[in-house]
Structure 1
Amino acid sequence: MSRRLEDLLLAIWSRRGAASTLLLPLAWLYGRLSARRLRAQARTAWKAPVPVLVVGNILVGGTGKTPVTIALCQALQARGWHPGIVSRGYGAAVGPEPRLSDTGGDAARLGDEPALIHAATGAPVAVHPKRAQAAAALLAAHPEVDVLVADDGLQHTALARDLELIVQDGRGAGNGRLLPAGPLREPPARLAQADWLITHLAADEPEPPPASGIHTGSGTDTHTPTGHAPRSVLMRLEPEGVTHLASSRDLPWADWRAEHGTAPCSAAAGIGRPERFFAMLRAAGVVLSRTLRVPDHQAIPADALRDLPPGPILITPKDAVKCVPPHDPRLWAVRAAPGFSDAGWLDEIDQSLRTAARARTSAAAGITL
């Protein structure tokens, strides 16, 4: 999909205008078919022998699932867990059998986001459109894995889950309508079914008013209410370090800024919301003379880079994993660290997963808790 088409859809989906209203019959059909598929999958869902945490969204486009998944995996590793990642592998021709990171973790084999998560965490990854199949293959190959993190797995109910974490951004629920009349994969009420709701804000976005993180609305709810509101956490990304692609030279952000001063730079991004990356750089003091927006999941064209002015070109790690050597010597990949409004939320995730693990152990031993 071109950036021009993406921009047009985002404009349509931001309000309940005439174009969106004309598409409502298709949205109704989408909702009925989607709800039927989710119910059918859930009836025969596979329950893994280890706890499963799903990270997903109901809003199309980039909301920030990848940095959240990386932060979760790193936090679990720091607390003694051995996480494994399952994902669809968007952008890679996976084939009939799951593909594991054991035989190569590059973007061409796994897809850009799973490759980035694997590179950032070292956790084993399995990709396949059927998440349960990927999970079974990963556990068979890696018996040390004691928790599964399903990246972008919210709408794949064939894999049973213990915890659901939904990531949204400043758009909230957009116009509150399902595809194609709006940006939603599921009705807005679905947000209230999650265990955690992470709201990813750009550097220049104000914090939402209290209780505004949960967006409710009309639509067919295909999920049984959990009886509790999800815990809400705000997230913002800040530059942490940079890597020079041509030389693999790695610098902390402060050192890179000291070295390059206030000289104008360019920035390029092929992610769901490039403006959020550009806003982060500007908030960190970078003077951007030019920006380049590329469709999500697509590699940045070499000829487009050549058209950028002299000076450093800052890109995202997701774009960096798709860059093929020899690299343009101006390219620097910016690593961003998430900051969360609740510093203890990852400890609570840890405790919830330990409770789920104990329940599995007790069930296997025939003990009733």
Structure 2
Amino acid sequence: MLSQFFNWIWYNDNKLKFFLYPLSVLFIIITFLRKIIYTNFFQTTFATKVPIVIVGNLSFGGTGKTSFIIWLAKNLSSTGLRVGIISRGYKGLYSGKPTIVNSKSDPIVTGDEATLIAKKTHCLTVIAHNRVDAAKHILRQKNIDIILSDDGLQHYKMKRDYEFIMFDGKRGIGNGLCFPAGPLREKSNRMNKADMLIINEGPYNLPNAIKSSLKILSIKQVEGTSLRKIEDFSGSTVHAVAGIGNPSRFFDLLRSYSVNVIEHPLPDHADIKTNDLFFNDKLPVFITDKDAIKYNFSINKNIWIVEVELKFKKEDADRIIGSLKVLTCH
């Protein structure tokens, strides 16, 4: 699998990175020129009176960005702010034109992440291949106080009022090199220009960064109504299936609750098929909520959704929400 090959290079002391480094130099030059053009010479950079908040990551692969978007939207909404969310609808089969996503949308059409966000937050969510088009469309629909952009850190055609950069706390920035020799989309010093850095679960550390953790809320039966606590499975062995950017984070989370895990990693955004969830035993099968959004068939009643929530210390949560509420007062 190509992603496993690159992860092997990026997150280990692997000499193959030196062979890929010339391509990384070319990648850096192209991204630098693109940024210069949009920020200095391109006259059609989109700006709006409604603040736009970017939630992005420097590295390829999962960092917990979707969980953070959901947390932000819920907490901002609880203060009375009207939140809009824009996304590319990655891997969705829609036309690419601005499309409203809600809890009844087909994730095959609108993308699994955007559909999950809309379902979990109940906020107005619009997808488009061009995030500027998505932002314009969302502003035409209803009065919005703040727009959250799912990714878009490198989408410099759209001006932003605030930037969060997410990091996987266990993998950090890997070997610190840009793609393809390393996992970075931009040079690591790009993080110095962000307004706030969020490290998701793990020992990786950065000055002034805020750390988050993942908590399992419940284990929900896919084909049924049963709702159980993760502690009910402590000491048990389960099959864990994950088609997310970093499946090991899901497996490690389960192990932190003393669950014995048989790992079944899938590519990010994988279409879940019957064979992915069928095993020749009677062990429970655990899947992520992102994968569950695509579940549309019947196998058995022993398949469970692991519902998670991002957690912050109270003072950190107050700092995050406070920094965004200030934007809406201008």
TM-score normalised by the shorter chain: which range applies? over 0.9
SS class of match (1:23): helix
Q: Is contact 1:199-1:235 (8 Å) kept?
A: yes
| 1:124 paired residue number | 124
1:160-309, aligned counterparts within 5 Å? 160-169=159-168, 170-201=170-201, 205=202, 207-208=203-204, 212-213=205-206, 231-247=208-224, 249=225, 251=227, 253=229, 257-258=231-232, 262-288=235-261, 290-307=262-279, 309=281
Q: Is contact 2:278-2:299 (8 Å) kept?
A: no
Q: Is contact 1:172-1:213 (8 Å) kept?
A: no
Tell me the matched-pair count: 326
Amino acid of the residue matched to residue 234 of structure 1? K
Q: Is contact 2:164-2:195 (8 Å) kept?
A: yes
State yes or no: 1:343 paired with 2:320. no
Partners of 1:253 and 1:174 in 2: how far apart?
34
Amino acid of the residue matched to residue 20 of structure 1? K
| 1:144 paired residue number | 143
| 1:90 paired residue number | 90
- List runs of 5+ in structure 1 lacking aligned partners: 215-230, 360-369
Tell me by how many angstroms 1:232 deviates.
1.1
Residue range with higher mean Cα deviation, 91-100 or 311-320 = 91-100
Residue range with higher mean Cα deviation, 74-83 or 31-40 = 31-40
Tell me by how many angstroms 1:285 deviates.
2.3
> Given the superposition, is the C-alpha separation of residues 106 and 347 from structure 1 closer, same or farther in structure 2, using an over 3 Å criterion?
farther
Q: Is contact 2:274-2:297 (8 Å) kept?
A: no
SS class of match (1:144): coil
Deviations 1:139-181 (A, max 9, x none): 112x232110000111112121111000001222211111111
Q: Is contact 1:238-1:284 (8 Å) kept?
A: no
Partners of 1:130 and 1:78 in 2: how far apart?
29
Partners of 1:95 and 1:38 in 2: how far apart?
27
Partners of 1:82 and 1:158 in 2: how far apart?
24
Tell me by how many angstroms 1:39 deviates.
2.7
> Given the superposition, is the C-alpha separation of residues 16 and 287 from structure 1 closer, same or farther in structure 2, using an over 3 Å criterion?
closer
> Given the superposition, is the C-alpha separation of residues 345 and 159 from structure 1 closer, same or farther in structure 2, using an over 3 Å criterion?
farther
SS class of match (2:198): strand
- List runs of 5+ in structure 2 lacking aligned partners: none
Partners of 2:9 and 2:263 in 1: how far apart?
24
Tell me by how many angstroms 1:250 deviates.
5.1
Deviations 1:85-119 (A, max 9, x none): 10111111232421111595331222111111111
SS class of match (2:263): strand
SS class of match (2:115): helix
> Given the superposition, is the C-alpha separation of residues 19 and 70 from structure 1 closer, same or farther in structure 2, using an over 3 Å criterion?
same
> Given the superposition, is the C-alpha separation of residues 49 and 105 from structure 1 closer, same or farther in structure 2, using an over 3 Å criterion?
farther
> Given the superposition, is the C-alpha separation of residues 263 and 353 from structure 1 closer, same or farther in structure 2, using an over 3 Å criterion?
closer
Tell me by how many angstroms 1:357 deviates.
2.5
1:17-32, aligned counterparts within 5 Å? 17-32=14-29
Coordinate RMSD, CA, aligned: 2.0
| 2:107 paired residue number | 107
SS class of match (1:178): coil
Deviations 1:339-369 (A, max 9, x none): 22x422333333333332333xxxxxxxxxx
Amino acid of the residue matched to residue 13 of structure 1? W
| 2:292 paired residue number | 320
Amino acid of the residue matched to residue 150 of structure 2? D
State yes or no: 1:6 paired with 2:6. no
| TM-score, normalisation: structure 2 | 0.92
| 1:75 paired residue number | 75
> Given the superposition, is the C-alpha separation of residues 244 and 103 from structure 1 closer, same or farther in structure 2, using an over 3 Å criterion?
closer
Residue range with higher mean Cα deviation, 192-201 or 347-356 = 347-356
Q: Is contact 2:97-2:129 (8 Å) kept?
A: no
> Given the superposition, is the C-alpha separation of residues 330 and 22 from structure 1 closer, same or farther in structure 2, using an over 3 Å criterion?
same
Partners of 2:183 and 2:281 in 1: how far apart?
35
Residue range with higher mean Cα deviation, 261-270 or 102-111 = 102-111
> Given the superposition, is the C-alpha separation of residues 241 and 83 from structure 1 closer, same or farther in structure 2, using an over 3 Å criterion?
same
Amino acid of the residue matched to residue 285 of structure 1? S
- The runs of at least 4 aligned residues of structure 1 exceeding 6 Å deviation read none
Tell me by how many angstroms 1:80 deviates.
1.0
> Given the superposition, is the C-alpha separation of residues 234 and 266 from structure 1 closer, same or farther in structure 2, using an over 3 Å criterion?
same
Amino acid of the residue matched to residue 326 of structure 1? S
Deviations 1:261-305 (A, max 9, x none): 6442211111111111111111112233x2211111002331132
